[in-house]
Homo-oligomer: A and B are copies of this chain.
């Protein structure tokens, strides 16, 4: 996790199109899991043998059956008990039913899905990875899933439209399909640069918060890389992107990100710590970041993307904590919705992100367990050094006594845009971090008070 975040200048350019990397086929179908009749079963097949695979999963104690089975399969194929990396021949996704909180029966159902996929595609069921999303507590309709898997398996294609259909089938309440791709150059064995593609698809709105939540993503690349190296690239990338994303503070039982590398690009194998590994890691992070931003912008009921950028923190960890606190604040989110340049709520959220010291906690009368829930690692902040800008307008400078005089009408006008950038300069060091969120709207409440279990 010591890898520092690439600056915006170093970040590979990302396009929002479904460039399917070589070595994969994909497809999707409407199998009737969703009452809406929209696509709900999808497959991705590694066509040149098992792909290197790495994953990050929800930390929710109620990890759903697909999460448990995927972790178990990765552990078996890598002999690493952590279940974070291994080999995978296929990914199956069902949407409309999460297969979460379904107990042992749900585990058996998910294993049956694995066998269906293995049979339909001619692969080892231990090399099938599983994604699902949708209603919690309902059993998978295995008969429909079976018909769907057979139908998709017979129509897998290796064109971009097939990947777009897969992304479409991941969706639940998403209003748009989320896709991002980038192309990088990696050296062949002879040192000549060759193109490598990194493309990600994702779903997710609502229940999204730091540490993943009802959020699924698959990133595919044709780079040749060992599973454990891939995992070591994925984790810091996820920590700086998806774990900095908050829609409503809830996390879910099914969150999963898979990265699969087919290895057919023809470039040299990527060694841990090499320049090629750094390049591939930056590409994965750029794709993850763009998907996370698409997810934040499409939060349930959201009308704008909120980006908080923290600079001059003691370190990157502090910077990320402060940025997360700001995009997670219900009051900041509501103010953003109302185009209110409310620096007071931002300052309050910054102060809430950090527990100044054990002495302060003690003086606050906090029991040790309560202090722990505020975040185990106290971050450092000095109210007299904090500077805050909202949509480009400096509104607060601790060194100048706090609130600044600013043109409120102009700030409000600048906030009337698809993205609101809140800048937080802590004035303490060289740590940087960003976080992504969305405004809190009446529509969020309406959507979530009427959604059926």
Nearest-neighbor residue (CB-CB) of A388 within chain B = B101
Contact across chains for A373 and B210 when beta carbons are under 8 A apart: yes
Q: How far is the CB of A178 from chain B (nearest CB, A)?
A: 20
A453 with B342, Cβ < 8 A, contacts A367-B239, A445-B440 known: yes
With an 8 Å Cβ cutoff, the count of chain A residues facing the other chain is 112
The one of B60, B324, B370 that contacts A348, using a Cβ cutoff of 8 Å: B60
Which of B104, B331, B369 is the one whose CB lies under 8 Å from A1? B369
The closest CB in chain B to the CB of A231 belongs to B365
Contact pick for A343, options B239, B248, B347, B453, CB 8 Å: B453
With contacts A331-B206, A350-B61 taken as known, whether A341 is within 8 angstroms of B445 at the C-beta atoms is: no
Task: Indicate if the CB atoms of B248 and A453 lie closer than 8 Å.
Answer: no
Query: In the complex the two chains form, is A449's CB within 8 Å of B335's CB?
Result: yes
Residues of B within 8 A of A341 (CB): 453
A105 interfacial by beta-carbon distance below 8 Å: yes
| Chain B hits for A136, CB < 8 A | 344-345, 347-348
Q: Contact at B317–A369, with CB atoms within 8 Å?
A: yes
Chain B residue nearest to A320 (CB atoms) is B369
Query: How many subunits of this chain does the assembly comprise?
Result: 2
Known contacts A251-B348, A329-B249, A370-B210; decide if A356 and B61 are in contact (CB<8 Å).
Answer: yes
Q: Which of B231, B317, B353, B363 contacts A71 (CB 8 A)?
A: B363
* A264: interface (CB < 8 Å): no
Q: Are A59 and B366 within 8 A (Cβ)? A: yes
Q: With contacts A331-B448, A370-B210, A445-B444 known, is A365 near B57, CB below 8 A?
A: yes
Contacting residues, chain B, for A361 (C-beta < 8 A) = 59
Verify if A376 is at the interface (C-beta below 8 Å from B).
Answer: yes
Name the B residues within 8 Å of A340 (CB-CB): 449-453
Contact with B along A1-30 (1 / 0, CB 8 A): 100000000000000000000000000000
A432: interface (CB < 8 Å): no
Chain B residues closer than 8 Å to A144, beta-carbon distance: none
Q: Given the known inter-chain contacts A55-B365, A348-B60, please indicate yes or no for A211 contacting B250, CB distance below 8 A.
A: no
Instruction: Check if A104 sits within 8 Å of B59, measured CB to CB.
Output: no
Contact B366 A376 (CB under 8 A): no
> Do B82 and A374 touch across chains, with their CB atoms under 8 A apart?
no
Q: Chain A 348-364, CB within 8 Å of chain B: the 1/0 string?
A: 11111111100111111
Binds B, one of A157-165, A169-177, A190-198, A398-406: A398-406
A198, B100: Cα distance in complex, Å: 48
**Contact residue among B376, B383, B401, B453 (Cβ-Cβ distance under 8 Å from A372):** B376
Docked complex Cα distance between A197 and B360 (Å): 31
